[in-house]
Structure 1
Amino acid sequence: MNYINEAIGDLKTYGQKHSEDYKTADPFPSIYFDNFFNPDVLHSVLDEFPDMSKKPDLQFNDPNQIKLASKGEGRFGERTKLFMHYLNSQPFLEFLTELTGIENLIPDPFYDGGGCHQIQPGGMLKLHADFNKHPKTKLDRRINVLVYLNEDWDESYGGHFELWDTEMKGARKRILPLFNRMAMFSTTSNSYHGHPNPLTCPPDRSRKSLALYYYTNGRPVEEQEVSDADHNTIFKYRAEDKKARALTSLKETAKLWIPPILIGGRHKEKAG
């Protein structure tokens, strides 16, 4: 099966052609492509996109995020599984290397944090820098790839993927999540990005995407200087996000003072 749009041609050559645009992008190395994939393939993936709305373990709902996300590939349909495996294959990895200049990329067969993502009306994901080490392999996270699956997506629906400067003064790039649009960027401890505004699409619509992450064994010294320590997701707040910041701070303070056994008991009671 041909996963790539025939108009793209040779993947390695295409990566070389756009490499300078990627490396010099503002506010950090990034790019997006339209009509990159065979649309028939993406339609087949969309047709089997999993319903995660009734699965508590796939729901994230806190001041920083309201979203749904799969875990592993257990909920992938057969065509989705083949497509995701292709994005972890040699030809696509070589394309990423030519585009980004990052060599010896390693895909994530666990899809830890990746996979199928969905945001329903009112949902959002505040601005953040991603975790920098794979939880299992401890490899360094280097590239994010996002494939959007939203047909007939109107600008008024929102859902823009935003890339922000390190001073958090404003979005330097806003990308509408259109069908067959692929966005990618280099993942560092200050590559702040997200979907910070609540989604305003009609109630029968949602923002769907596929997320894949790529790793290396080690990272450049200049990236280590930003943050050499392992860290989870680092949320950053705009002036209008003061409420989320206050609630997050309160939650973290509670963790310091409430005995772990009580927190664990609360979680168990909620799950029951």
Structure 2
Amino acid sequence: MTKPVYAIDPETLLISSAAAREAAAPAAEAYQSQEPYAHGSFDNFLPPEVLERVKEELKELPEAESSFNRAQEKLKTSYIPERLPPYTRSLFYALNSRPFIAFLEELTGIDGLIPDPYFIGAGIHVVANGGHLDIHADFNHHGKMNLERRLNVLIYLNKDWKEEWGGSFEVWDKNMNGKVKSFVPLFNRMVCFNTSSDSWHGNPETVNHPEGEPRMSIALYYYTASWDETRKSHSTLFKPRPGTADQRDKLEARHATMRNLLPPFLYRRLAPRLRRLGI
């Protein structure tokens, strides 16, 4: 069997920082040269027994941290690590540790990456049959730590998934004129990409597994201490694909108007409550 890209010990979930950097080095040039933004896909990423144990634990899921069922993100739920079973929770901590940061810094060329101990927006993501996530650019600012979002890591948990079952991860060009690349969410495939306000991506094709299986993934986000007050923070920005029935995100448009009209301290207090109410 081919050696895993990131060969952590399945029992301890440990690897040395030196070995992690060595694993990333061969792919660094190709990753950093990708257009329209740096990205890469890695099959057989972890020792497969690691994700087999995760799948076994996730047969029973706790209460979801968040749940979306609107035009732009349909039948999508997420589960934060602290509510997950012990082995899966430990894997998240391992992917927030110094060795994995070393791997990502070597791969991306981004120095000073910072993991998110709060796992805001991260965790186990599940898209049920009939669900999808439209093309978007992610929120760009970690308000609690005042950091700039720089990198997303996705590891897929779907055995023997076929392209025709939907849910493929898509990379779109910066002008939203067309799809540049697509990755089927195969078991033990890792997709990593640099994030910005125009790194358009998503899984817009409806999940339609013949036996009703959901699309499942591990999602983690990484930051740098490069945010400054000249920058404008934003939440998730959705963009309709040309020639499709994708809908404009009216909710975000309303919030953009409120950000422009209200004093910043008032908007910061009101925004979370309004989002929970779908306003």
| TM-score for both structures, normalised by structure 1 | 0.83
Cα pair 2:237 2:252 within 8 Å, conserved? no
> SS in structure 2 opposite 1:68?
strand
Contact 2:64-2:77 at 8 Å conserved across structures: no
Counting matched residue pairs gives 253
Q: Which of the numbers 120, 126, 138 marks the counterpart of 1:112?
A: 120
In the alignment, what sits opposite 2:132? 124
Task: Give me the CA root mean square deviation.
Answer: 3.1
Which amino acid in 1 is paired with 2:37? F
Structure 1 portions without partners, runs of 5+? none
More helix by share: 1
AA aligned opposite 1:146 = L
Q: Shift of residue 142 of structure 1?
A: 0.6
Q: What's 1:2 paired with? A: 9
Pick closer, same or farther for the CA change 1:171–1:243 going to 2, 3 Å. Answer: closer
8 Å contact kept, 2:41–2:190: yes
Offset, 1:71: 4.5
Q: What amino acid is the match of 1:58?
A: S
What secondary structure is seen at the aligned counterpart in 1 of 2:54? helix
The residue that corresponds to 1:17 in the other structure is 26
- In structure 2, how many angstroms separate the alpha carbons of the residues matched to 1:173 and 1:41? 28
Distance 1:210 1:228 in 2: 29
Q: Is the 8 A contact 2:141 2:233 kept in 1?
A: yes
Tell me whether 1:39 sits opposite 2:42 in the alignment. no
CA displacement 1:2-36 (0-9 Å, x = unmatched): 148x9xx9321221211111111122100010001
- Unaligned 5+ residue runs, structure 2? 1-7, 259-269
- Secondary structure of the corresponding residue to residue 17 of structure 1: helix
Aligned 8 A contact 1:139 1:217 in 2: yes
User: Does the CA contact (< 8 Å) of 1:73 and 1:110 recur in 2?
Assistant: no
Structure 2 residue identity aligned to 1:216: T
For the residue of structure 2 that corresponds to 1:81, the secondary structure is helix
* Deviations 1:158-177 (CA, angstroms, capped at 9, x unpaired): 21100000111111110000
TM-score when normalising by structure 2? 0.81
Deviations 1:94-138 (A, max 9, x none): 010011011111101111001000111110000000000113112
Measured in 2, the distance between the counterparts of 1:145 and 1:91 equals 15
AA of the residue aligned to 1:183: V
Q: Deviations over 1:153-200 (max 9, x none)?
A: 122212110000011111111000000000000011110000112112
Matched residues, percent identical? Answer: 38
Q: Does 1:161 align with 2:169?
A: yes
How far apart, CA to CA, are the structure 2 residues paired with 1:74 and 1:241?
38
